[in-house]
Each structure stands twice: as C-alpha cells, then as structure tokens.
Amino acid sequence: MLKFNEEEILSNMRAALALRPEMERILDQVEHEGIRNVCWLGIGGTWASCMQAVVLMKERSAREVFALNAAEYNTTGDRRVGKGTFIVISSVTGTTEEMITAVRKSQEAGAKVLGFVNKVDTPLADMVDWCLTAQQNEQLKFFMVADYLMHLEGVFPDYEKCYQQIDTFVPEGIVAVEKSADDFGRSFAEKHKADALHYFVGAGTLYGATYSYAMCYWEEMHWRRTKSIHSAEFFHGMLEIIDEDTPVTVFIAEDSQRELGLRVKRFLEHYNRNYTIIDTADYPLEGLDPAYRSRISHMIMHAVTNRIDAHMSDLNQHDMSLRRYYRTVKY
C-alpha cells in the first residue's frame, strides 16, 4: 500500500498511549494545586486540535475551558490566563515562534504549561513545566488530557474502561481502517486531484480536522485551494454558492454534532452532484463500545484522509514536504 508503514503507525500510537500514566501523575498534581481554568493554546494545525478538545470538554465539563490562539494571545492578551490556569500545548518542531512567545507570556502571568513536544532539546520542550514526548497523534494526546481532567472532575466515570479498550483495540483498529479506506482514497484523489477549489465541511470533534485538513494538508502540503466551513455555518451564507458541480466533502463524526453534518448531507443530495461524505460511522472498530467512538472519530477521519493524501501526492507528483514560503523565505 502506497506510503503506509504499519509498524510505524502502531508503534507511534502505542507510544502516545503509553504516556498516560505519567500524564495522570502530572494532572493529579495540578488538580491538587487547584485548577481555575483550562486553556488549550495553539496556532495553525495545533489551534485546530485545541478547538476539538474544547468541544469534547464543553459537552460534559463544568470547568472553564477555552482555546486560545497563540498570535491572538501575544497581541490582544487574555486576562483569564494567570495563576491557576492549566495550559496544554503540542508541537512537532518545538520551535514555532508564536508558541514560544505565548508560552513565555502565559508563564509570566502565572500559568503552568504541559507540552507534548516531539523534539527534546528545543525551546518549547525546555520551557514548558512538564514535557511529554511521543511522535504523531496530537489529537489523541489532547483527548487523553481532556478525558482525565473530566475523570478527576467526576464527569467521566467510564474513563478506565474506555481507555482500557482504546489501549487494547484502537492501534490495530485504526490500521485496519486505513487499509480499508485505501480504495476510497485513490478514487477520491483521482476525481479531485486538480480541483480549482474544494470545500470541506465539518462540525464538533471534527471541526478542527476539517479546518486543518483544508489548510494544513491541501493548502500547505498539496498547494490546492480550499475553503473549510462549520456544518452549522454552511447554512448561513456559504450554501448560496453551491452549484450542481461544486466539489464539497463533508466530515461526519459520531458525536453530539452529528446531526449538523447530516443536515448538510441532505442539502447536498438535493442540490449537488459532486459531493463526498466521509462518515466515521462507516468504519467499524472492533472491541470499542459504541459510546466511546466519539472519542476516536478524529483518528478514523485521519486514517481515511491519510489515504487521500498518499494518492493525491502520488498522482500530482507533488512532494508533501515542499514549502514555497513557510520557513523557506523571510517575511
């Protein structure tokens, strides 16, 4: 299978899950010292992941939880960030300049920062109050933190059972999803590889994925034009530019906002003939209770879009690691 390293996927996912005991010890300590509010801090792709973690928590938690864009924080500030603020970040490189500034500013204000930083001996890895390192799976790491915080709050009594199932079944389950999505990925890439503009629509625990798949994958890595929109917002403006042949892809999760995506699907069935629905419910994952599937919708979606990426990149002969501007030229 094209660009598919099963062993690497499995070992990365298991390494991320293996961070859980240490993460729990850190959160026990933070909770003991007192949490006034929880802040997910990011920019670009990590900002997208922050938005998803907030949706997950907002439904269940009575804590004050918010997502903060690093560049906004560096300029506008946020007076809610201070002593008692528990911040979570993630970084692949450990060097993103807006994040370095924001972490420093938040710590000066009295906040404590947990960082999933994939490279040790980098500025972000050195700055954060606690650093956990494992490759890939940013969203899984964020959900692990969110879920344990909710466990500590007493609003996720199933936590142990849920993560026992995730530990046991999800790594191989996600590999199976990716394999089963390969044919779809190829035909989608063949059909849409040269679209002048592709629309991505999504909601809930997949809104961040919708936003970042459009921006961080198609725009940044494939150099293809996109617009992403929230499934609810689709009906408040964007729908008017939908013609019969407008290319639209809808991401649908098995979470509280599922109905918002299904509504877009029903609209497109009537007024469009060039849409694709990627519904995580179409991908079984053995061993996991249906009630917990909302927690891994993002992983199923990522496994599916990985197959699109592999074939798009191959068909367009476009190396996804190429950048024209980002970290390449000065601006």
Q: Which residues bind a second copy (CB under 8 A)?
A: 43-45, 47, 55, 58-62, 64, 66, 69-72, 75-80, 98, 196-197, 203-204, 212, 215-216, 219-221, 223-227, 229-230, 232-233, 235-242, 255-257, 259-260, 263, 266-267, 270-271, 323-326, 329, 331
**Residue among 197 and 315 whose Cβ is closer to a second copy:** 197
**Residue among 186 and 230 whose Cβ is closer to a second copy:** 230
How far is residue 203's CA from residue 218's CA, in Å, rounded to a whole number?
A: 18
As given in the structure block, the two tokens for residue 284 are 């079984």
Shortest distance (Å) from residue 66 CB to a second copy: 7
- 43: helix, strand or coil: coil
* CA distances in angstroms from 2 to 27, 195, 317, listed in the order given: 40, 22, 13
**Residue among 290 and 329 whose Cβ is closer to a second copy:** 329
As given in the structure block, the two tokens for residue 29 are 């300590």
Under 8 Å between Cβ of 308 and 188: yes
Shortest distance (Å) from residue 293 CB to a second copy: 16
Backbone dihedral region of 137: left (phi > 0), alpha (psi from -120 to 50 degrees) or beta?
Answer: left
**Residue among 25 and 236 whose Cβ is closer to a second copy:** 236
Shortest distance (Å) from residue 23 CB to a second copy: 23
**Residue among 191 and 236 whose Cβ is closer to a second copy:** 236
Shortest distance (Å) from residue 147 CB to a second copy: 16
**Residue among 76 and 317 whose Cβ is closer to a second copy:** 76
How far is residue 331's CA from residue 318's CA, in Å, rounded to a whole number?
A: 24
Shortest distance (Å) from residue 331 CB to a second copy: 4
* CA distances in angstroms from 272 to 14, 49, 171, 304, 318, listed in the order given: 41, 30, 36, 23, 29
Shortest distance (Å) from residue 127 CB to a second copy: 20
Beta strands of 102-166 (E only): which ranges?
112-117, 130-132
